[in-house]
Amino acid sequence: MGNSPRILVVDDEPSMLRYLQTLLEVESYNVDTAVSGEQALIHLQQSLPDVVLLDVLMPGGMDGLETLEQMRERYPQLKVIMLSCVSDTRKVVQAIRLGAQDYLTKPFQKNDLEAVIQQCIGGAATVAAPQGEIEDLGDDVFFVCGSASMRKIRSQAKLVANVDIPVLILGDSGVGKEVIAKMIHKYSPRSHRTFLKVNCAAVPADLLESELFGYEPGAFTGATHAKPGKFELCNKGTIMLDEIGEMPPSLQAKLLHVLQDQQFSRLGSRTVQKVDVRVLAATNINIQEAIATRKLREDLYYRLNGFSINLPPLRERKEEIPLLLKHFMSQVAERYARPPLPLTPSLIQACERYHWPGNLRELSNFVKRYLVLGDEEMAIAELAPQGERGMTAASGAGAGGGGVGDDGLKSLVRSVKDEAEAEAISRALTETNWNRKKAALLLKISYKALLYKIRQYDIQPSGGAH
């Protein structure tokens, strides 16, 4: 008895208290009860339970959220599970934000209660030896989680997944906004339905509306047949609107309407259609600035911001780097069917020192290049600060050094690709004694293409590009 977990149940309804107490005592928990927030706080001063079950709605005095706030403030380690009603969505969301461990919607089954409590208590035991650090989200998407901040985000994402509200996902480029969106979809009741992503920056502004909402024949020049939009295709599912700040303001107004009324019409149609889509929006822009400059409509922002998740840049969670390196290495090695390369302490340290402006995407590309080029020294040199960096790129390749320049990852990927290409070409030319026809055959490219590339990379007979 002494070792069984202690639970404090807080509810203003005596019948509910009695019911929960009986249920929990049958499962041999130690149960204490309180009929108000005030009473619960007094109780906590005497002894701390393993878990608190706290009713959201408690009329008179402190309500559930206020009580939760006080509890979190005084006992940050205390685990609190909220008891809510179906109609309490907003309160549940607030509770998640305030740090509630989990929530249960009344009426719940005995099994649900047991599962939530077990997870809550079990979770405590695994803090020291975190397991499940790499989660497979399907379709070759993984969620690696190796820091306190990301663990918090993971649990919030999973909780909010169940509450059918929009979520705004914020963070710099490459921090994992899409991964989080996929996770929310996966843990939501919509998981067996469609998940679609629309990148608002990638579609030209005047096409975006038809892309999202579809059109009827004759809606515009070239619209010869009817076409459903992404919202229709995604009915009952989840849509991710990426780079929402790039959506034209007029379209933002239409989106707001869909979010409010679940209604829209195709371009060129007067028929209003019903649609049930959960919207997850993402952006890497500064929201306050975007609102101030009217790039983002404030009313839309408040709609989307039912819950927001702010992903920290990689440099603020460097403790994850070793784990991420290991993960990306095995992922890339598998994809390219190559044996993984060693991740030496000096390589890991170089990665930990670097500031990763492109975040996890840059890290994953870094691992890819390291695996392809197989040169640890060069990989480390690439991460050195600008001034200290040696010349590693093919001379005359015109794509700059090996690091991330002002125009970022794209040019870096290009430069590495160019480098590898120039190297292969000069090797083929040396092998064939500069017989360009033979070299072209060897490289499986046309003679003309080879001539072009020799000029492009300025490859010379003596010593080649390096």
Ligand X SMILES: Nc1ncnc2c1ncn2[C@@H]1O[C@H](COP(=O)(O)OP(=O)(O)OP(=O)(O)O)[C@@H](O)[C@H]1O
Among 364, 392, 415, 426, binds ligand X (CB under 6 A): 364
- Tell me which long-range contacts 161-165 makes (C-beta under 8 A, separation of at least 24): 161/185, 161/186, 161/187, 161/188, 162/187, 162/188, 162/189, 163/89, 163/92, 163/93, 163/96, 163/307, 164/89, 164/188, 164/189, 164/278, 165/89, 165/93, 165/278, 165/306, 165/307
Contact window for Mg ion (CB under 5 A) among 175-183, 255-263, 319-327, 359-367: 175-183
Contact window for Mg ion (CB under 5 A) among 19-27, 159-167, 174-182, 216-224: 174-182
Nearer to ligand X, 151 or 361 (CB): 361
Count of C-beta atoms within a 10 Å radius of residue 75: 15
The counts of H helices and E strands in the chain are 19, 14
Contact window for ligand X (CB under 6 A) among 17-25, 34-42, 336-344, 360-368: 360-368
158 touches ligand X (CB under 6 A): no
- What minimum distance in Å lies between the beta carbon of 175 and ligand X? 5
Q: What is the DSSP string of 231-285?
A: HHHTTTSEEEEETGGGS-HHHHHHHHHHHHHSEE--BT----EE---EEEEEE-S
Q: Phi and psi dihedrals of 127, rounded to 5?
A: -60, -40
User: In 3D, which of 1, 270, 290 has the Cα closest to residue 170?
Assistant: 290
- Binders of Mg ion among residues 178 to 207 (CB under 5 A) are 178
Contact window for ligand X (CB under 6 A) among 53-61, 138-146, 214-222, 400-408: 138-146
Q: How far apart are CA 230 and CA 232, in angstroms?
A: 5
171 touches, from Mg ion, ligand X, none (C-beta below 5 to 8 Å by class): ligand X
Among 5, 37, 176, 214, binds ligand X (CB under 6 A): 176
Could you tell me if 435 and 454 are in contact, meaning their C-beta atoms sit under 8 angstroms apart?
A: no
- What minimum distance in Å lies between the beta carbon of 364 and ligand X? 5
Could you tell me if 150 and 320 are in contact, meaning their C-beta atoms sit under 8 angstroms apart?
A: yes
Contact window for ligand X (CB under 6 A) among 87-95, 168-176, 341-349, 370-378: 168-176
- What minimum distance in Å lies between the beta carbon of 202 and Mg ion? 10
Which amino acid is residue 384, in one-letter code? Answer: A
102 touches, from Mg ion, ligand X, none (C-beta below 5 to 8 Å by class): none
143 touches, from Mg ion, ligand X, none (C-beta below 5 to 8 Å by class): ligand X
User: In 3D, which of 241, 114, 135 has the Cα closest to residue 186?
Assistant: 135
Among 43, 193, 227, 361, binds ligand X (CB under 6 A): 361
Nearer to ligand X, 68 or 239 (CB): 239
Kindly state the DSSP code that residue 410 receives in the 8-state scheme.
H
Q: How far apart are CA 355 and CA 383, in angstroms?
A: 9
Among 54, 65, 144, 247, binds ligand X (CB under 6 A): 144
Among 142, 158, 162, 187, binds ligand X (CB under 6 A): 142
Q: How far apart are CA 79 and CA 176, in angstroms?
A: 28
Contact window for ligand X (CB under 6 A) among 110-118, 166-174, 345-353, 456-464: 166-174
Tokens of 256: 């707001």
Nearer to Mg ion, 360 or 428 (CB): 360
Contacts with Mg ion, residue ranges (CB under 5 A): 177-178
Contacts with ligand X, residue ranges (CB under 6 A): 141-144, 171, 173-179, 242, 284, 360-361, 364
